[in-house]
Amino acid sequence: MTPTRDPSELAALYGVQVGYRDAFRRTRRVDAEHVAAVLRALGAPVDEPDGLTQVLRERWGTLVPPVAAAFAPQPPMLDIRVPARAGDERAVVRLEHEDGAITEHVVRLAEVAPHAKADIAGDTFVAKRVPLDGLPLGYHRAHVSVGRARASTTLIVAPAKAAPWDRKMWGVFLPLHALRTGRDWGAGDLTDLRALLDWTASRGGAVVGTLPLLPTFLDDPFEPSPYSPISRLFWGEFWLDPEASPEAASPDVRALLERADLRETRESLRRARSVDHRRVMALKRGVLEACARRAWSTSAGRTQIEAAMRDEPELETYARFRAATETHGTFEGWPSDDLPDVEEDRWRYHTYVQALAREQVAALGGSPATLLFDLPLGVHPKGYDAWRFPGSFATDASGGAPPDSFFTKGQDWEFAPLHPQRIREQGYGYPIACVRHLLRRARVLRIDHVMGLHRMWWIPSGAEPHEGAYVRTNPEEWYAIVTLESHRADALIVGEDLGTVPSEVRRWMGRHGLHRTYVVQEELQDDPARAMNPVRADAVAGLNTHDMPPFTAFWEGIDIEQRRSAGLLDQRAERTERTRRDRKRRALVRYLRNRGFLARGARDAAAVLSACLVALGASRARAVIVNLEDLWGETEPQNMPGRRVGSNWRRKGRFTLEGFAARSRVNEVLAAVDHARTGRRDDG
């Protein structure tokens, strides 16, 4: 359908950018038809002749906006929008504080100068900006009345900056599925993660990072990616340790665990070179179902489950949703407050595994080291969150990225983006719950694609990735949520700001105390004087990320061949990339030698890796994260973006925890990083 007019005015109201600067710093104009398609996905009346007037009248005819945010000590400023003829009417503002207190403000509108004005089809509206003093930090509700008009809004009062951390630290990273131990079930679990936390702390480290531990579909549909979770509000049962459940000591469960066929299957999965998610989950499920039956049959077990359901109001509904999808397939047209009939045993199973997950994740807090969790950008389109909170998502579009030098056709990440206006109308309830879920158990939170706090590339349904446009959010409100939740959890917040990121994003991050991401592979220059760009004090630094090649593959150019084989580079681009990489390697070697981090004559991957990590350790960075697989020269990536099949999210680590903990090379490098960070020496 063709829009009846130039959609740019309507686009401005809905936050749709009609132009942007691409990865090559060129200004791109979005085709009018693509702007119109994105507007339709937002629900804008782009095909109605008087659509612009409709929207303006609706916006200005609403007494107050749905959200107002402020950073202490500044009070929230509430825009009260009234017809210009309102005269000497009073605005009564009844404030419901988060703690239950009630206060009231009365404002004579004639005494407040207009902040903004709009003439709409012969009617004039004005906005009067009113400060609401005396509100503490938190989420509050304001109920406003002017004459017969009534409206309510959410007020967010937040600290200006995220919680401060004044000490340097270091830690390690390893995907939990890749963590092998002498007791695993074919993939690492929460007991193994506790062991890794304790070992890291014993080496002087303060943090362990891993991929998201959220639930994913591991049967039909099958999507093991941790960045396409069923929900961002619950834990994945895949990561449970059945033997650590209270019910594992019961005779019936113990007999099941000791069966020869179970032990043989477990040993086979443990020996396999990659994770077989379906078989691992099927094996665990058989035991966890027996545990669930046992728990529901005892007063102690039932008490624990019921306590979890009281603490997590969504848990019962989530369990019924999971049971329904197992019985009826993925949802299609189910109302968000109603589900098909489900089998009681399936529902009880899912309530039990979530109650157990709460306990096992909570037990991780007993380690001296803390967790670094990721907040994924999206959720599975057929998952719980997409079903339960349909108004929060734009179901006629998907999030992605425009074309760049790596993905020349753009990217479609195949999840529905959050709808900026609707989540405002809901007071950001769903996003706040997602952040809180992770910060209950982690002291460091990494926000995937932090640019999403400002804008997201929307691809309308049926369109190609390049046929989209950026849709802006309300960043002040997002940062208020993040800084407030950071203080409540005393958590360090890291934004993943790699790639093509507008400068305004990093200015906002600095203003509100979010840490930057520094990755050597991204920062390398071919100038020996500054081959490694300076590391900022507000950075969390490392050599790579889970979406990048391990250091040895990068250093030896193996990743270039991998990209060529995957069809991501043509022959000419491969030659260009190899030439560019060689210049950067030479520059880095000279840079590290000149600063005393690398011995003369050394240029192999292992030596340069150690030198880079010590250089990062000696830098101003708030934290340095060491990818454990780099320490033994791994060359295969955990995830190759753009590859939909193969080893993504499946590859196990080459060594068990017991094995790499005993390797002198691993311990020497970590001791050197610890010394560079703290000045401590390992005399062992």
The predicted structure's pLDDT at residue 1 = 45
User: Band of the pLDDT at 536, cuts 50, 70, 90?
Assistant: very high
Per-residue pLDDT reduced to its tens digit, 390-405: 999 999 999 999 988 7
**518 and 499 in contact (C-beta within 8 Å)?**
no
User: What's the rounded mean pLDDT across residues 478-496?
Assistant: 98
Q: Which pLDDT score is estimated for 4?
A: 45
Q: Are 383 and 214 in contact (CB under 8 A)?
A: no
Q: Provide the 3-class DSSP secondary structure of residue 262.
A: helix
Residue 240 lies in a domain: no
Q: Is residue 642 part of a domain?
A: no
Q: Is the pLDDT of residue 488 over 70?
A: yes
Contacts of 459 (CB under 8 A, 6+ apart): 397, 398, 399, 400, 410, 412, 465, 467, 468
User: Is 91 a member of any domain?
Assistant: yes
Give me the pLDDT at residue 121, please. Answer: 86
Question: What residues pair up with 129 in beta bridges, in sequence order?
Answer: 79
The mean pLDDT value for 47-62 works out to 92
> CB 65: neighbour CB atoms within 10 A?
19
The answer to whether residue 421 sits within a structural domain is no
Q: Which pLDDT value is given to residue 680?
A: 76
Q: State both tokens at 40.
A: 């339709």
CB environment 348-382: b (16+ within 10 A), e (fewer): bbbbbbbbbbbebbebbeebebbbbbbbbbbbbbb
Which residue shows structure tokens 């056709």? 409
Q: How many domains does the chain have?
A: 1
**What is the per-residue pLDDT across 349-387, written as a single tens digit (0 to 9) for each?**
999 999 999 999 999 999 999 999 999 999 999 999 999
CATH number at residue 103: 2.60.40
In a domain, 297, yes or no: no
Question: In percent, how much of the chain has pLDDT > 90?
Answer: 88
Q: Which domain holds residue 102?
A: 62-158
Q: Which of 419, 430, 417 is nearest to 457 (CA)?
A: 417
User: What is the average pLDDT value for the chain, to the nearest integer?
Assistant: 94
pLDDT of residue 684 exceeding 60, the answer is no
Question: 646 falls in which pLDDT band (50, 70, 90)?
Answer: low
- Cα–Cα distance measured from residue 585 to residue 548, given in angstroms and rounded to the nearest whole number: 17
Instruction: Flag the least confident range among 200-214, 329-343, 664-678.
Output: 329-343
Instruction: Answer whether residue 105 is part of any domain.
Output: yes
Distance CA(279)–CA(258), nearest Å, equals 18
Which runs of E-coded beta strand occur in 488-531? 492-495, 516-519
Q: What are the DSSP calls for 407-452, one per residue? A: STT-EE--SPPB-HHHHHHTTTHHHHHHHHHHHTT-SEEEETTGGG
What pLDDT shows up at residue 3? 47
| Predicted confidence (pLDDT) at residue 557 exceeds the cutoff of 70 | yes
List the structure tokens of 482: 């993040």
Surface-to-core class of residue 123, CB atoms within 10 Å of its CB (0-12 exposed, 13-18 middle, 19+ buried): middle
Instruction: For residue 643, name the pLDDT band (cuts at 50, 70, 90).
Output: low
| Beta-carbon contacts of residue 251 (< 8 Å; ≥ 6 apart) | none
Position 7 scores a pLDDT of 87
Give the distance from CA 413 to its chain's centroid: 14
Which pLDDT does position 679 carry in this prediction?
85
Over range 271-279, report the average pLDDT: 97
Instruction: Write out the two tokens for 265.
Output: 């299957």
Provide the token pair at 469: 């446009």
Name the 3-class secondary structure at 641: coil
Return the pLDDT at 354.
98
103: pLDDT strictly greater than 80? yes
Helix (H) or strand (E) holding 156: strand 149-158
Under a CB-based contact definition with an 8 Å cutoff, are residues 465 and 394 in contact? no
Identify the helix (H) or strand (E) that includes residue 406: none
Instruction: Tell me the one-letter amino acid at 170.
Output: W
Of the candidates 43, 60, 44, 41, the residue with the CA atom closest to the CA atom of residue 8: 44
At 397, which amino acid appears? A
User: Considering the domain boundaries, does residue 586 fall inside one?
Assistant: no
79 lies in some domain: yes
